[in-house]
Amino acid sequence: MGLNIQIVVDCSKPHELADWWAETLQWAVEPQDEGFIRSMIEQGFATEDQTMTHKGKLVWREGCAIRPPEELETKAPARRLLFQTAPEDKTIKNRVHWDVNLAGRDKDEVRRELEARGATFLWTASQGPHSWHTMADPEGNEFCIS
């Protein structure tokens, strides 16, 4: 039996970046259990400064995950991206990135849409008849669209 993985993205604003990627991929932000968070504070397992309010909800400050909407209720989702805080800013090119398959959409049109939402175009490349755009999300993490 194979193992499952999740992809974790270090960032400075996990909730904002999770929102950005959820919209980009047409995924959903995982809901966080406000009652559970409050109970962890009441029991002394967490402190108020480990939480914040995002879009009117109490959430853990340091992390936020997204997944396909049809997998929100799944206990072991097949696809999940976790965004977590990191103390340092991104300074060099990612050694790992993901490719977003546009399912036939025009990559130049999608590029313009992503740029309008805060992404940065980095370069265009090709191999044989296949070409793609390399982009960076609002925090500078590289990804490709094709």
Q: What is the DSSP string of 86-132?
A: -SS---S--SS-EEE--TT--HHHHHHHHHHTT-EEEEEEEETTEEE
**Could you say which of 3.90.650.10, 3.10.180.10, 3.90.550.10, 3.40.50.720 is the CATH number of the domain covering 92-145?**
3.10.180.10
- Is the pLDDT at 1 greater than 70, yes or no? no
Q: 132 near 125, Cβ under 8 Å?
A: yes
The pLDDT, as a whole number, for residue 146 is 96
Give the pLDDT confidence of 47-105 residue by residue, as tens digits: 999 999 999 999 999 999 999 999 999 888 889 999 999 988 888 888 889 999 999 99
Q: What is the pLDDT of residue 94?
A: 85
Phi, psi of 62, rounded to the nearest 5 degrees: -90, 5
Q: Where do the domains of the chain lie?
A: 1-89, 92-145
Looking at residue 92, its pLDDT comes to 87
Percent of the chain with pLDDT over 90: 84
Helix (H) or strand (E) holding 59: strand 57-60
What pTM value is reported for the model?
Answer: 0.91
Q: What pLDDT is recorded for position 110?
A: 97
Shortest CA distance to 62 belongs to which of 109, 111, 8, 12? Answer: 12
Is the pLDDT at 128 greater than 70, yes or no?
yes
| Mean pLDDT over the full length of the chain | 94
What is the percent of the chain where pLDDT is above 70?
A: 99
Residue 4 confidence (pLDDT) = 79
